[in-house]
Amino acid sequence: MAAKKTHNVVATVGEYKTQSGETKKRYVNCGSAFTNDEGNISIKLDTVPVGPDWSGWLSLYVPKDRQESRPAARQATKSAEDDDLPY
């Protein structure tokens, strides 16, 4: 069987302040990681961050379920268009 996507590859590329003054980290999704039946992991990079704010580290995060990551109001107004979104 082919490998399946198991992780997002993410880089932290600096910080920003919210309107309320809270400091948060800025993230960039750089690609995907795939795991095959033998447990081997392959990484496909779509982009590589550059600049002084990137430490050189990439992190792997398990993707969140599309339904879990949507706000409740957005779920209530789901339309047929939502099923065509590529992400």
Comparing 44 with 78, the larger pLDDT belongs to 44
What is the residue extent of each domain of the chain?
Answer: 4-64
Predicted TM-score (pTM) of this structure:
0.69
2 or 35: whose pLDDT is higher?
Answer: 35
The per-residue pLDDT for range 27-77, each reduced to its tens digit, is 999 999 999 999 999 999 999 999 899 999 999 999 987 545 445 544 444
Q: Return the pLDDT at 2.
A: 85
The tens digit of pLDDT for each residue in 7-18 reads 999 999 999 999
Residue type, 11: A
Please give the structure tokens belonging to residue 49.
Answer: 């961050």
* Bridge partner list, 41: 35
User: Distance between CA atoms of 28 and 65, rounded to whole angstroms?
Assistant: 18
